[in-house]
Structure 1
Amino acid sequence: MRSGVEGPTLVLVVAAGVLCGCGVTLLLERSLSRILLGVILLGNGVNVLILLGGRAGAAPVVGTAPAGTLSDALPQAMILTAIVITFGLTAFLLAVSYRSWYLTGDDEVPDDIEDRQVRQAAERNELATADLGGEGPDADPEQVDPEPPRRRGDGPG
């Protein structure tokens, strides 16, 4: 390092790595409360990482210090934006977690039935069944939108 130039300290770099690592580990869990904590930790870890990318110096206000000694304002603005996004995602996950707890009494995310079928087919080395079609575009109930119900007075005449 050059003398007079300070870089990011090792403590902040390790803290960012630990926060991101713990956040990703918690995101891989099946419990919504752990997923929520993982999002919060990952957001904070990324904020510290963005902070390390900026140049340290005086407050970025024109006229308070020479231009070469001002800190970079872009990472600060990005961190503020990331805090707002993380807060919105946290509020959404809190609502989903509360609704799951209210309906089922548990915040565990269950396996999907189709996911189980795909996993079992993969374990048996089977190919997924192909939709060969043949019924035409208007006869496939999965592809055709139902007609809206008729109101009284609509119709011929």
Structure 2
Amino acid sequence: MREVDSFRFTGKMIKKFVLDMIENGREQKSIPWTPRSKKISKSRVSLVTTAGISMETDTPFDMETERKKGDWGDPSWRLIKHGSKIEHLNVNHLHIDTTYIKKDLNVALPIDIIEDFLQKGIVGSISKFHYSIMGYQGSDTSHLINFSGPEIAKSMKQDNVDLAILAPV
């Protein structure tokens, strides 16, 4: 059996940095989890991507600071309207190859796939909005944990989202 190369699309420096973070980083003692309250086929679903996608009308993720600080990622978040097409979106992320996303949005934000799930009755409904963060946060995830995460959760709750699907890149 072949082993998956988790670093196939990253440079040697990113690979070394991530492996060092895993080896020397702090350990997450507990993972926040909420059990489902209803069947998936009755649930309202929203997507969360870590690709740094923003609507073309929104402020893009901060790539200038990302350029200056190689171990930093913009900790803010963006709303993505359901049904958005790639030509109306920007992909702002220096730590990933965005070429694939620009060719097929479903690589990072599987909107077409979740629509197919709706048509097949696999999910009950789809949220009006999906959410995007920049997944690369370096060693400081405090803003994501203390601000962006709770704000996204509040927005999802207001839209009656039952189930969030994470699409990590």
Q: Which TM-score tier does this pair reach, normalised by the shorter chain? A: under 0.3
Higher fraction of strand = 2
Structure with more contact order per residue of length (Cα contacts < 8 Å, sep ≥ 6)? 2
Report the TM-score, using the length of structure 2 for normalisation: 0.23
Q: Who wins on radius of gyration, i.e. which is larger?
A: 1
Higher fraction of helix = 1
Report the TM-score, using the length of structure 1 for normalisation: 0.24
